[in-house]
């Protein structure tokens, strides 16, 4: 069998010192390495910290880090030895096969990878057959495999192992094959994509190491270790390979959060070829990987001006020339032959690849000439071991192909496609095949939203495969693409860019953005059209892309996908038509009476409570009136203001209750809060045929039926993308009232646009359909009400991270916190940490304290911290003697008592490390039981305890009693999907992304042949648990669960917890104003903020500069108004920016600032002003008049009609008065004077008055 030359991918863990053969410099802070299961299970940060920066080969064998097995030392100049035992030896149940196995020394040679192709080592657990062996016709015998007392999926017998492992390295040629290094995770990047680390040549392929055996025992069975050393040529001199300078990048990002780290990350071009530890890499993906690395090196040259990458770039150029020659013109021939029903089409193609090449390894003959011979009965050119059976039917079919159809097959064979990709297109109609011949890039454009896609890079390498190849084997005459900036290529690449842009939130690109991104694409030849080129082909682009005018005066355009134009029109028309007329007849009810009837007033309440109660009821009454009388409305307000309660009242109104109601939410938790009849958006749209759970895509479908509802309520609307909202609107008809509920200040959605923010902004401008709840007030919640209102510092702090103008008039809350005033109250606590080790110590102590405090409220506290921890998660029983707890379905009711939140999954403060720390601290006994049920001695024999719980699952090692989060929408509606449902409760049969659950078993003895089920009960689906099989939790499986003691802030949206622990690192490049706000509004009772360093350092994130919403570029109702600041575009409709590029709180401030600037009057915006009590305020403008010696402090007042704004301004006024700063009208000779101006009653500002004032004081 002639397997063409291949290249190799090798997965390594993150290492903070360039994989140099030493322990990390800061091992405790390396959370990225723990995304590999073997490291996550056994990493000991205490030992690694003691050995930090020590050579691994000098450590005692019992102190070797687990990352050594994951190729962490591939740049080490030293060999490293490790003792290895077979996982089945030492267990008397396996003595028949493994009793004679001894501990074996495995050597990891210097400058090498010890590779394991995990995907190749799999076998069918029932038949012991290997699919790889079948596909490649290998000498593999399933009867050689051991008959163990349990079913396993790994190949065990040495001959079978060698058949597989030797075949894997057969096409890996020393001196010719490249090795591409990749990682699953690196700091600050949270992605499922693989990340390229570097590349070099393979210099030598090493040998396998067979296990050592005890010579005194009969050798009944043999195995080899799977690891095989692969030596590489990468060295520090970069002469024959290189690594990207990611460690330097991470160091820079830690100091400068303006660096867009993702711009420098090289993402691997293929998931399949960069997975499973090690895998073959095709010439196509090797070429693309080199081009990607080339592009990133050029980016690094700009970031690191002291670095010179000329040598690496030249090396890449040389390798690209060589790889194009290796690739040949027809890399997809095998897949096409398989698609034509030729048996073992890939093996045949490999043989043909040898036949068509000359001694210099150049392709000089067309393989399709031989295919034609084969289909006409001539196979004489093939060796005897490869003589495919071409049936009469296949021969007759070949004769029916037209010239164009044969040319289409040849076109496909020029692309590096797999069998599944070919299946989707090989049988298309002839007219469509001709369309693909005329424009091969249509294969990408038509498939890009499908489950199986044809990547644009695959097509481009077929069309631009080099002059030598195209001269010998020209494309079809129908494929008239000769120049790099051909309109077909430009459109396809532009579509690709716009799709990526939309997935990252922006539904449009400016002309300069698009041209820049086209020029940055990692393809040869470059596709670098000018803006004028794009304008010239606008008619051709219009099939997929629409062009709009952004600024007519400056002649600036923007581009967006036609799909998003349709989406915009759907949403825009829906909203604009509905605000034209209110519902008729207008409903006039005693709205306040309805609210008061629901919340009975009680006697003898403090005055503050009664006043607040009255205001809360009135705003709810106002909201009821708005929701009832508008065809579209929004109900906004932070968590705790009573939105859910108000909606319950609204649904019970007769004119609502007597109609049909559809209640939807994007998350499972939000769905539960709405009531038992609510659905998740995905679940509803699956039924409506507008959501594909396999691709995760939401879409409009004019051919599907619409559903009629009188009232539609959509909760947590801030999480919705434009695609989701348009799909919902497309599915509905006859809706009288459409209500969006949420808090627009939270994080924008993951995906396209920010429709809830846009709709709220539009309705507010039109002064229609907006209802807002502002008073955080639990109606009738407490039996005993304090005489004075408690100061909710947590609520005030959250407002600072919003667009609220309250912070304009507040005394600086960050100084208040720093001065320890009212900052360790019942509702909030601040704890400072300095480094990750300090955080780990703190997090355990504070978790213990808060859990005990939480349990003491209900008298459920136990005698020790582990028992308390279990009780906080709803343990159903506790054994004091063994200090071990049991869990049941009802445990799911308590798992959201508390929650740790972190901005990121990786790094030492990320969810991965924190979950690991929590699990190891509180669940170690259960982990041990799950891994090793234990044994006992009797009459000189060792007996093993029966397993009573499932083995750990996923890379997190989830065990019985662990809190988990589902991270992928899952349907469980097939007959084979089982549940544990003792009370026969109606089941939802759907688990939404973000639902939190607890693994409850199955615990106890298991007497059945079927695998022990893994039962998980979810807090959002009470009364039953879903059954899973351990095989469902594989790396790329349909079921994806993670530990959930700590979750990301993004994942917490739509949920609320009694107590929240908010881990706040500094620096952290993904922090934003909305992320802070979201985190600070998740708690119901109490939040503990664990901040790194001085909390005052986080004040900068209150500014618009750090607004994610403001950086979203969309045009839902109007074109964006863009301003480029620090290399980032902002939409100034949502973010207030002065002409000088200063981020401000209000539009009025911008007008004042611009007038001062235009009059050449220097000013400082929000400069700190601190008095002798160390109380700090921030005047809007500070103006020092050098000529007069007077310092002016200018305050512009906005929302004085609001009580909280007015009271805040009163406190600030008192500060000024106490510190001798008087109104300029009172004493125009004072050294320090106060200027105050106000908004007009309509919220605007009198520009003429401002100009007059400036002229008067500074003219």
Which CATH number covers residue 629? Answer: 3.40.50.300
CB 507 within 8 A of CB 1114: yes
Question: Residue 429 is encoded by which pair of tokens?
Answer: 């109609």
Span 821-842, pLDDT tens digits: 556 678 999 999 999 999 999 9
Confidence of residue 1013 (pLDDT cuts 50, 70, 90): confident
Span 332-343, pLDDT tens digits: 999 999 999 998
**Distance between first and last Cα of the chain:** 90
Same structural domain, 250 and 376: no
- Rounded to an integer, the average pLDDT of 554-577 is 97
What's the pLDDT at 777?
A: 67
CA 393, CA 378: separation in Å to the nearest integer? Answer: 16
What's the pLDDT at 780?
A: 37
Same structural domain, 457 and 309: no
Determine, yes or no, domain membership for 626. Answer: yes
Q: Show Cβ contacts of residue 1018 under 8 Å, excluding neighbours closer than 6 positions.
A: 668, 892, 966, 991, 995, 996, 997, 1026
Confidence of residue 261 (pLDDT cuts 50, 70, 90): very high
Same structural domain, 236 and 313: yes
CB 422 within 8 A of CB 335: yes
* Model pTM score: 0.92
Span 614-640, pLDDT tens digits: 999 999 999 999 999 999 999 999 988
pLDDT at 92 over 90: no
Q: Give whole-number Cα distances, 409 to 120, 265, 428, 429, 446, in Å.
A: 30, 36, 11, 13, 18
Determine, yes or no, domain membership for 1024. Answer: yes
Q: Give whole-number Cα distances, 728 to 462, 682, 995, 1071, 1135, in Å.
A: 40, 10, 22, 31, 29
CB 367 within 8 A of CB 406: no
User: 3-state DSSP: the chain helix, strand, coil percent, rounded to 5?
Assistant: 40, 20, 45
- Rounded to an integer, the average pLDDT of 845-858 is 95
How long is the chain?
Answer: 1259
SS3 string, 226-270, reads CCEEEEECCCCCCCCEEECCHHHHHHHHHHCCCCCHHHHCCECCC
Q: Show Cβ contacts of residue 457 under 8 Å, excluding neighbours closer than 6 positions.
A: 269, 284, 288, 523
What's the pLDDT at 936?
A: 73
Q: What is the DSSP pairing of strand 545-551 with strand 556-561?
A: antiparallel
Candidates 102, 99, 147; CA nearest to 127 is 147
Same structural domain, 391 and 409: yes
Q: Show Cβ contacts of residue 1162 under 8 Å, excluding neighbours closer than 6 positions.
A: 1183, 1184
Whether the bond between 1002 and the residue before it is cis, its omega within 30 degrees of 0, is yes
What's the pLDDT at 880?
A: 87
CA 1211, CA 312: separation in Å to the nearest integer? Answer: 63
Confidence of residue 550 (pLDDT cuts 50, 70, 90): very high
Whether the bond between 97 and the residue before it is cis, its omega within 30 degrees of 0, is no
pLDDT at 779 over 50: no
- HSE of 883, CA atoms in CB hemisphere, 13 A: 12
Same structural domain, 368 and 304: no
Determine, yes or no, domain membership for 1075. Answer: no
Tokens 């968590």 locate to 639
Question: Residue 937 is encoded by which pair of tokens?
Answer: 């001695």
Determine, yes or no, domain membership for 1063. Answer: no
Helix (H, G, I), strand (E, B) or coil at 702: coil
∠747-750-751 over CA atoms, to 5°? 130
What's the pLDDT at 603?
A: 67
CA 289, CA 129: separation in Å to the nearest integer? Answer: 34
- Rounded to an integer, the average pLDDT of 538-545 is 98
Question: Residue 256 is encoded by which pair of tokens?
Answer: 């400068």
Same structural domain, 624 and 600: yes
Pick the residue with more confidence: 1039 or 1183? Answer: 1183
pLDDT at 348 over 50: yes
1022: number of Cβ within 10 Å: 13
What's the pLDDT at 1131?
A: 92
Name the domain count of the chain.
Answer: 5
Strands of 461-513 (E only): list them: 509-510
The four Cα atoms 926, 928, 931, 937 give a dihedral, to 10 degrees, of -120
Positive or negative: CA dihedral 1118, 1124, 1128, 1130: negative
Span 124-164, pLDDT tens digits: 988 999 999 999 999 999 999 999 877 789 999 999 999 99
CA 411, CA 1195: separation in Å to the nearest integer? Answer: 70
Q: Show Cβ contacts of residue 707 under 8 Å, excluding neighbours closer than 6 positions.
A: 662, 688, 731, 732, 733
Range of the domain at 443: 328-481
CA 785, CA 789: separation in Å to the nearest integer? Answer: 9
> What is the average pLDDT value for the chain, to the nearest integer?
93
Same structural domain, 301 and 447: no
Span 1090-1120, pLDDT tens digits: 999 999 999 999 999 999 999 999 999 999 9
CA 39, CA 256: separation in Å to the nearest integer? Answer: 30
What's the pLDDT at 921?
A: 95
Question: Residue 1100 is encoded by which pair of tokens?
Answer: 């900068």
443: left (phi over 0), alpha (psi -120 to 50) or beta: alpha
Phi, psi dihedral angles at 215 (to 5 degrees): -65, -20
Asked which of 226-230, 536-540, 941-945 is least confident by mean pLDDT, the reply is 941-945
Last residue of a domain, one of 456, 481, 506: 481
Same structural domain, 69 and 29: yes
Asked which of 596-600, 931-935, 942-946 is least confident by mean pLDDT, the reply is 942-946
- Rounded to an integer, the average pLDDT of 1066-1076 is 94
Same structural domain, 89 and 159: yes
Last residue of a domain, one of 459, 481, 503: 481
pLDDT at 1142 over 50: yes
Confidence of residue 650 (pLDDT cuts 50, 70, 90): very high
Confidence of residue 534 (pLDDT cuts 50, 70, 90): very high
Same structural domain, 180 and 207: yes
Determine, yes or no, domain membership for 909. Answer: no
Q: Give whole-number Cα distances, 208 to 114, 120, 139, 140, 817, in Å.
A: 10, 15, 18, 18, 62
Determine, yes or no, domain membership for 1120. Answer: no
Candidates 1039, 1041, 1029, 1037; CA nearest to 978 is 1029
pLDDT at 977 over 90: yes
Asked which of 780-789, 859-868, 1014-1023 is least confident by mean pLDDT, the reply is 780-789
Span 284-325, pLDDT tens digits: 999 999 999 999 999 999 999 889 999 999 999 999 999 999
685: number of Cβ within 10 Å: 24
Confidence of residue 724 (pLDDT cuts 50, 70, 90): very high
Whether the bond between 1086 and the residue before it is cis, its omega within 30 degrees of 0, is no
Pick the residue with more confidence: 946 or 426? Answer: 426
In eight-state DSSP terms, residue 74 is T
Any alpha helices (H) in 1036-1166, and if so which ranges?
1049-1052, 1073-1079, 1108-1111, 1147-1158
Question: Residue 211 is encoded by which pair of tokens?
Answer: 């296990």
Q: How many whole angstroms from its chain centre is CA 869?
A: 29
Q: Show Cβ contacts of residue 854 under 8 Å, excluding neighbours closer than 6 positions.
A: 872, 897, 898, 1058, 1059
Determine, yes or no, domain membership for 640. Answer: yes
Last residue of a domain, one of 772, 802, 836: 772
CB 231 within 8 A of CB 204: yes
What's the pLDDT at 1008?
A: 65
Same structural domain, 137 and 285: yes
Candidates 579, 569, 507, 506; CA nearest to 764 is 579
Determine, yes or no, domain membership for 474. Answer: yes
Span 169-188, pLDDT tens digits: 999 999 999 999 999 999 99
Same structural domain, 291 and 334: no
pLDDT at 781 over 50: no
């Amino acid at each position: 069998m002639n397997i063409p030359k291949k290249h190799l991918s090798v997965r390594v863990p993150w290492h903070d010192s360039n994989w140099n053969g030493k322990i990390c410099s800061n091992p405790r802070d390396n959370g990225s390495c723990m995304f590999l299961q073997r490291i996550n299970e056994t990493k000991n940060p205490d030992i690694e910290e003691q050995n930090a920066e020590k050579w691994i080969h000098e450590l005692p064998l019992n102190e070797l880090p687990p990352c050594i097995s994951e190729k962490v030392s591939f740049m080490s100049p030293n060999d490293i030895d490790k003792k290895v035992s077979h996982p089945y030896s030492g267990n008397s149940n396996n003595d028949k096969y493994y009793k004679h196995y001894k501990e074996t020394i495995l050597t990891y040679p210097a400058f090498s990878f010890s590779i394991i192709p995990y995907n190749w080592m799999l076998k069918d657990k029932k038949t012991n057959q290997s699919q790889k062996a079948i596909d490649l016709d290998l000498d593999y015998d399933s009867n050689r495999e051991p008959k163990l007392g349990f079913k396993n999926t790994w190949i065990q017998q040495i001959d079978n192992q060698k058949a597989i492992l030797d075949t894997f390295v057969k096409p890996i040629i020393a001196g010719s094959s490249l090795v591409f290094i990749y990682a699953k995770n690196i700091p600050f990047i949270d992605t499922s994509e693989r990340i390229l680390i570097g590349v070099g040549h393979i210099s030598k392929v090493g040998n396998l190491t067979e296990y050592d055996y005890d010579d005194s025992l009969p050798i009944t069975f043999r195995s080899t270790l799977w690891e095989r050393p692969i030596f590489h040529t990468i060295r520090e001199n970069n002469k024959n390979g290189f690594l990207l300078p990611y460690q330097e990048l991470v160091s820079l990002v830690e100091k400068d959060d303006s660096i867009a780290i993702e711009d420098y990350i090289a993402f691997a071009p293929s998931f399949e070829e960069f997975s499973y530890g090690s895998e073959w890499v095709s010439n196509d993906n090797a070429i693309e990987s080199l081009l990607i690395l080339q592009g990133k090196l050029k980016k690094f040259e700009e970031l690191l001006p002291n670095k010179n990458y000329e040598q690496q770039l030249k090396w890449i150029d040389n390798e690209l020339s060589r790889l194009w020659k290796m690739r040949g013109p027809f890399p997809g021939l095998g897949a096409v032959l398989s698609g034509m029903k030729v048996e073992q089409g890939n093996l045949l193609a490999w043989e043909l690849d040898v036949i068509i090449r000359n001694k210099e390894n150049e392709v000089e003959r067309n393989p399709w000439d031989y295919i034609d011979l084969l289909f006409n009965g001539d196979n004489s050119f093939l060796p005897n071991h490869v003589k495919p059976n071409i049936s009469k039917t296949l021969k007759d079919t070949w004769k029916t192909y037209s010239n164009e159809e044969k040319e289409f097959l040849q076109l496909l064979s020029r692309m590096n496609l797999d069998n599944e990709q070919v299946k989707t297109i090989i049988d298309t109609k002839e007219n469509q095949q001709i369309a693909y011949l005329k424009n091969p890039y249509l294969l990408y454009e038509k498939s890009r939203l499908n489950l199986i896609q044809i990547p644009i890079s695959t097509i481009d390498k077929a069309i631009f495969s080099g002059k030598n190849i195209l001269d010998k084997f020209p494309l079809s005459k129908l494929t008239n693409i000769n120049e790099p900036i051909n309109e077909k290529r430009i459109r396809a690449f532009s579509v690709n860019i716009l799709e990526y842009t939309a997935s990252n939130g922006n539904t449009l690109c400016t002309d300069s953005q698009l041209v820049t991104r086209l020029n940055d694409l990692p393809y040869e030849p470059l596709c670098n059209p000018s803006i004028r080129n794009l304008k010239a082909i606008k008619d051709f682009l219009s099939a997929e892309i629409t062009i709009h005018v952004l600024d007519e005066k400056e002649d600036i355009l923007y581009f967006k996908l036609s799909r998003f134009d349709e989406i915009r029109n759907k949403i825009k028309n829906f909203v604009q038509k509905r605000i034209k007329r209110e519902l008729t007849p207008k409903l006039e009810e005693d709205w306040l009476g309805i609210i008061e009837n629901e919340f009975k007033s009680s006697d003898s309440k403090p005055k503050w409570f009664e006043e607040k109660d009255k205001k809360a009821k009135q705003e709810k009454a106002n909201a009821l009136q708005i929701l009832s009388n508008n065809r579209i409305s929004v109900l906004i307000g932070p968590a705790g203001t009573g939105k859910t309660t108000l909606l319950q009242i609204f649904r019970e109104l007769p004119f609502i209750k007597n109609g049909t109601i559809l209640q939807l939410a994007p998350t499972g938790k939000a769905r539960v809060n709405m009531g038992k009849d609510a659905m998740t958006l995905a679940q509803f749209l699956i039924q409506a045929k507008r959501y594909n759970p396999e691709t995760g895509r939401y879409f409009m479908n004019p051919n599907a039926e619409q559903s009629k509802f009188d009232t539609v309520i959509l909760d947590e609307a801030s999480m919705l993308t434009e695609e989701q909202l348009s799909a919902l609107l497309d599915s509905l008809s006859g809706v009288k009232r459409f209500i969006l509920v949420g808090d627009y200040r939270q994080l924008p959605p993951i995906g396209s646009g920010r429709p809830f923010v846009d709709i709220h902004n539009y309705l507010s401008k039109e002064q229609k359909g907006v209802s807002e709840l502002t008073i955080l007030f639990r109606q009738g919640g407490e039996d005993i009400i304090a005489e004075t209102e408690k100061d909710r510092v947590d609520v005030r702090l959250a407002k600072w991270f919003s667009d609220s103008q309250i912070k304009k008039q507040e005394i600086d809350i960050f100084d208040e916190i720093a001065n320890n005033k009212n900052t360790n109250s019942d509702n909030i606590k601040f704890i400072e940490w300095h480094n990750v080790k300090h955080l780990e110590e703190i997090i355990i102590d504070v978790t213990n304290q808060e859990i005990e405090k939480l349990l003491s409220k209900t008298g459920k506290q136990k005698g020790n911290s582990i028992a308390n921890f279990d009780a906080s998660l709803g343990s159903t029983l506790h054994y004091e003697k063994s200090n071990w707890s049991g869990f049941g379905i009802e445990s799911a009711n308590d798992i959201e008592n508390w929650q740790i939140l972190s901005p990121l999954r990786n790094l030492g403060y990320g969810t991965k490390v924190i979950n690991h720390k929590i699990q190891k601290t509180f669940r170690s006994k259960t982990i041990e039981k799950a891994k090793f049920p234990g044994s006992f001695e009797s009459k000189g024999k060792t007996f093993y305890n029966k397993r009573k719980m499932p083995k750990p699952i996923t890379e997190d090692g989830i065990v019985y009693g662990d809190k988990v989060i589902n991270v992928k929408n899952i349907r469980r509606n097939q007959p084979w999907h089982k549940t544990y449902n003792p009370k026969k409760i109606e089941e939802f049969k759907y688990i939404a992304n973000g639902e939190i659950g607890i693994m409850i078993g199955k615990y106890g003895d298991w007497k059945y042949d079927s695998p022990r089920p893994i039962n998980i009960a979810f807090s959002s689906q009470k009364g039953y648990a879903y059954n899973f099989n351990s095989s469902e939790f594989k790396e790329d499986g349909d079921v994806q669960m993670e530990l959930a003691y700590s979750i990301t802030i993004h994942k917490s949206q739509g949920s609320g917890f009694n107590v929240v622990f908010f881990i706040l690192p500094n620096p952290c490049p993904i922090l934003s104003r909305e992320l802070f706000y979201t985190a600070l509004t998740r708690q119901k009772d109490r939040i503990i903020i664990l901040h790194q360093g001085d909390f005052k350092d986080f004040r900068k994130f209150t500014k618009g500069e750090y607004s994610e919403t403001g950086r979203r570029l969309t045009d839902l109702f109007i074109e964006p108004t863009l301003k480029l600041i620090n290399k980032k575009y902002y939409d100034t409709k949502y973010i207030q920016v002065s002409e000088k590029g200063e981020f401000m709180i209000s539009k009025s401030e911008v007008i004042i600032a611009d007038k001062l600037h235009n009059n050449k009057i220097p000013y400082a915006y929000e400069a700190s002003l601190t008095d002798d009590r160390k109380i700090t305020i921030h005047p809007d403008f500070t103006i020092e008049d050098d000529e007069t010696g007077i310092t002016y402090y200018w305050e512009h007042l906005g929302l004085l009609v609001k009580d909280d704004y007015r009271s805040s301004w009163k406190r600030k006024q008192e500060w000024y008065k106490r510190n001798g700063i008087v109104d300029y009208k009172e004493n125009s000779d004072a050294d320090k004077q106060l200027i105050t101006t106000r908004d007009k009653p309509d919220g605007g500002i009198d520009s003429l008055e401002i100009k007059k004032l400036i002229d008067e004081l500074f003219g």
